[in-house]
A = this chain, B = another copy of it.
Amino acid sequence: MQAEERQLRIEEYLQKAEFSSLDELARQVNASVSTVRRDVSALETQGKCRRTHGGARILTPRSDEFTFTTRDSQQVVEKEAIGKACAALVQPGQSVIMDAGSTIYHVARYLQDKKPQIVTNSLPIANLYASDHLVEIILSGGVIYPRLGVLVGPLAAETFAKMHADVAIMSANGITPEGVFNSHALLIEIQQAMIQSAQKVIFCFDHTKLNHKAVSFLCELDRIDTVVTDQPVPPDLLDAFRRNNIEVVLP
């Protein structure tokens, strides 16, 4: 590949991913880490991105929850790990319903090789693969919920009610032995439709969500097939998981 083409592709990839490790970039453009490092340095002098330790990021991150701020850089690492582990559960060519939310966004980033068919109401995920010919994206309709870039409303719920997918990859605000809870009431109905339409249901939770309860009830544990999380599950919750035949996956 040409040097300029490589740099352009790095730039484009960064636009979508906001942040990327040099390793990941090297894989993306099929070059060595050294070369990518030099490319990123060149792009930095052109003012097109900023180098960080181990990677690069775009200058103007999107102004929503997907922003990688230094504040929750720790969280990002965990979400990356969850994302990678969860993506590994998807088989090549499967149809995947994907929830909106930053954790699920990180799952999406690792799905490219699986050539999946993704059905989602998440604008960031849609943008991630908007010009990728390997990944087919079906976007639900709906009203854009400003800050989050999520499509909500009856149009979105209808879309998922009509769909059938192999897997649903979901997230929520909390999970306890009593079930899964979310704080965005607007999303509940849509998420329930997503769960209804999928053969297999995978939930992703970072450890802060375990045994945490939020306002609205989303679903019973028995609808869940797999939980992906980043730390060992507390005993009482693990018991509940066992009773409901929920598989637990750690990175």
Contacts and interface: CB of A to CB of B under 8 A. Distances in A.
Q: Which of A54, A131, A138, A149 has the most CB of B within 10 A?
A: A131
A129 interface: yes
Q: Which of A62, A69, A129, A136 has the most CB of B within 10 A?
A: A69
A46 interface: no
A159 B138 contact: no
Contact of A146 (B54, B130, B141, B142): B130
B143 A141 contact: no
Interface string A79-96: 000000000000000000
Nearest to A118: B144
A143 B62 CA distance: 24
Interface stretch (A2-10, A35-43, A223-231): A2-10
Interface of chain A: mostly helix, strand, loop or mixed? mixed
Interface string A229-240: 000000000000
Contacts of A126: 123, 144
Interface in A1-51: 1-5, 8, 11-12, 15, 18-21
A49 to B, nearest CB: 12
A127 B123 contact: yes
A131 B67 contact: yes
Given A149-B130, A149-B131, A141 B144 contact: no
21 contacts: A1-B19, A2-B20, A3-B53, A4-B52, A5-B57, A12-B69, A15-B68, A15-B69, A67-B131, A68-B127, A123-B126, A123-B130, A132-B146, A133-B146, A137-B143, A139-B139, A139-B141, A139-B143, A139-B144, A141-B142, A141-B156
